Amino acid sequence: MSYSTFNRKQFDSMKEPMFFGENVNVARYDQQKHPIFEKLIEKQLSFFWRPEEVDLSSDRKDFQQLAEHEQHIFLSNLKYQTLLDSVQGRSPNVALLPIVSLPELETWIETWSFSETIHSRSYTHIIRNIVNDPTVIFDDITVNTEITKRADSVSVYYDRLIEMVSLYNTLGMGTHHIPGKGSVEISMPTLKKALYLTIASVNVLEAIRFYVSFACSFAFAERTLMEGNAKIIKLIARDEALHLTGTQHMLNLMASGKDDPEMAMIAAECQDEVRNIFIEAAEQEKEWATYLFKDGSMIGLNAQILSQYVEYITNVRMQAVGLDTCFSTKHNPIPWINAWLVSDNVQVAPQEAEISSYLVGQTDNSLDDSDFDDFDL
Amino acid sequence: MTSISKQDSLSKDLVHRVLLGKKQFLVTEDEPLLPQLERAGIHIEYQCREGYCSSCSIKLLWGQVEYPFEPLAWVHSGYMLACCAIVKSDIEIAFFHD
């Protein structure tokens, strides 16, 4: 099977699974197998923001006054987030678009990826504003071992899926001998397993991996430092919370068998592996917290508190995809973070205060004769 | 005018009991469960407070809740989203880690 940008077959897309069915042809949304994805698109569009809208002039002064170990915490987190969004800005498109079979899901994947590119641009906006030479910071991302270790874990499942799908498209089903890789078995179950594990690892990326950085940014802002940065991170956190709902829906739909009965079997088979993806990510994030605070803590946060928060948030995210929780931490050690994560009071421009999801250019088209009653000509 | 005030007093009369372990709270149908429990001093994890992030998902052991709008988050059976669910009968809830 090779990918076609416009599949000429006639088929009922309402009967297709989310992935590995027919390639999509007409981008139509009049009939939808899973309407949730169009709702996510609408919500994401209503969240639209631009990094340039946030003024960072006082952040530059704040940054220069931070202690050296605090600058290390701040910049390391920015580097890590830059890595995560570099992966997320392209990978859902590259890995998932060639195998998606529903138009509404295809468009959600594109909308989702696009919003990640805004995040990437916002990191450049922040770094440009607080340091004289952004190059030093960006160049470190590919050589800093603490960051590259994490790059491997966030990209390994994507890369495996992309490789398997490209073998499937060029060579078809069967066991293929690939120079340097040995034999790779391509069958529907192995492809679906690779897909399921990829979605799980993306869920973990967006649901857990970002949160150590978020906590540090908000801890600075609690001290009224780096507030422009915190404003941007708040907008990013709002987007990420929506994205993780997207992957939770995919995982839950797959596991329920409502979308594709074969996928339900694969999900059950992969349960232990998915648990391990969650646990491994949590352990890595705890290590990351130790790295951040290696030269000193900041007011309100240290490696131990952050590790407890990672355990707590991992439990929350695991139960959201129907897994048993795995850490004993039962309480959020930094409950103040939720006031920063709440999307209700995200404010970019003053006129948008108190509006939860600001829609640009809204019009009211429902008019009847009575609306003109108070008109005098 | 009279009918409006009647409706007002009616909705205020609808008070339900919420059981959480050995604790018991009274809530109304005027707003979702989350802010009412917060006022009672109970910490519930939350994030978006708009029904899409699923952070405030808690176990609904028995009883009825309703959503004024369909939440975007996936709600597992036996669970409820505290941020947007209106309590419609006496209910018993539990946190996922209990």
Place of tokens 């050690």: A333
**Predicted confidence band of residue A350 (pLDDT cuts 50, 70, 90):** very low
Residue B31 touches chain A, beta carbons under 8 Å: no
Contacts 24+ apart (CB under 8 A), A324-328: A324/A275, A325/B96, A325/B97, A326/A275, A326/A278, A326/A279, A327/A282
The nearest alpha carbon in chain B to A339 belongs to: B47
Is the per-residue pLDDT at A108 higher than 60?
yes
Is the per-residue pLDDT at A12 higher than 50?
yes
Is the per-residue pLDDT at B2 higher than 50?
no
Flag if A245 and B45 touch (Cβ within 8 Å).
Answer: no
CA B80 to chain A, closest CA, distance in angstroms equals 11
Is the per-residue pLDDT at B7 higher than 50?
no
Kindly list the residues from chain B whose CB atom is less than 8 angstroms away from the CB atom of residue A238: 48
Residues of chain A with a CB closer than 8 angstroms to some CB in chain B: 36, 39-40, 43, 237-238, 241-242, 244-245, 248-249, 252, 315-316, 319-320, 322, 325, 330-332, 335, 338, 341-344, 356-357
Is the per-residue pLDDT at B87 higher than 70?
yes
Q: What's the mean per-residue pLDDT of chain A?
A: 92
Question: Which run of H or E residues covers position A140?
Answer: helix A134-140
Q: Which of B94, B81, B10 is nearest to B48 (CA)?
A: B81
The C-alpha atoms of residue A16 and residue A141 are separated, in whole angstroms, by 41
Supply the pTM of this predicted model. Answer: 0.89
Interface test with B, best of A251, A254, A341 (most B CBs within 10 A): A341
What torsion do the CA atoms of A340, A341, A344, A345 make, to the nearest 10 degrees?
A: 30
The C-alpha atoms of residue A17 and residue A192 are separated, in whole angstroms, by 11
Residues in chain A: 377
Is the per-residue pLDDT at B24 higher than 70?
yes
- For B94, the token pair is 């539990």
- For B67, the token pair is 């959503």
Is the per-residue pLDDT at A341 higher than 70?
yes
**How would you class A256 by CB atoms within 10 Å of its CB: exposed for 0-12, middle for 13-18, buried for 19 or more?**
middle
- For A221, the token pair is 């802002």
* Residue A157 a catalytic site member: no
Q: Output DSSP code: residue B36.
A: H
Is the per-residue pLDDT at B12 higher than 70?
no
pLDDT at B5: 42
Residue B73 touches chain A, beta carbons under 8 Å: yes
Q: Which of A77, A350, A104, A128 is nearest to A237 (CA)?
A: A77
The C-alpha atoms of residue A307 and residue A290 are separated, in whole angstroms, by 9
The nearest alpha carbon in chain B to A250 belongs to: B74
Place of tokens 């059950």: A268
pLDDT at A356: 39
CB-nearest partner of A343 from B48, B54, B74: B48
> Which residue out of A3, A29, A123, A309 is catalytically annotated?
A123
Q: Output DSSP code: residue A332.
A: -
Q: What is the ipTM of this complex?
A: 0.86
Q: pLDDT tens across A178-205, in order?
A: 998 899 999 999 999 999 999 999 999 9
Q: pLDDT tens across A66-95, in order?
A: 999 999 999 999 999 999 999 999 999 999
Flag if A238 and B49 touch (Cβ within 8 Å).
Answer: no
Cβ B33 vs Cβ B82: under 8 Å: yes
CA A176 to chain B, closest CA, distance in angstroms equals 39
Residue A183 identity? S
- For A182, the token pair is 């040995």
Mapping DSSP to helix (H, G, I), strand (E, B) and coil, where does residue A124 land?
Answer: helix
Kindly list the residues from chain A whose CB atom is less than 8 angstroms away from the CB atom of residue B50: 343-344, 356-357
pLDDT at B72: 97
- The total of other beta-carbon atoms located within 10 Å of residue B89's CB is 12
Bridge-partner residues for B94, per DSSP?
A: B59
Query: How much is the average pLDDT of A7-12?
Result: 93
Within 8 A by CB and 6+ apart from A132, the residues are none
Residues in chain B: 98
Q: Which of A294, A282, A249, A303 is nearest to A39 (CA)?
A: A249
Cβ B52 vs Cβ A298: under 8 Å: no
**Predicted confidence band of residue A25 (pLDDT cuts 50, 70, 90):** very high
Q: pLDDT tens across A220-273, in order?
A: 999 999 999 999 999 999 999 999 999 999 999 999 999 999 999 999 999 999
List the strands of the sheet with B15-20, edge to edge: B23-28, B15-20, B91-94, B57-62, B79-81
Mapping DSSP to helix (H, G, I), strand (E, B) and coil, where does residue B66 land?
Answer: strand
Is the per-residue pLDDT at A215 higher than 60?
yes
Cβ A266 vs Cβ A192: under 8 Å: yes
pLDDT at B1: 37
Cβ A94 vs Cβ A218: under 8 Å: no
pLDDT at A354: 36
Cβ A341 vs Cβ A214: under 8 Å: yes
CB-nearest partner of B50 from A316, A332, A356: A356
**How far apart, in Å, are the Cα atoms of A63 and each of A56, A73, A131, A239, A266?**
11, 11, 8, 26, 49
Q: pLDDT tens across A277-326, in order?
A: 999 999 999 999 999 999 999 988 999 999 999 999 999 999 999 999 99
Q: pLDDT tens across B36-74, in order?
A: 999 999 999 999 999 999 999 999 999 999 999 999 999
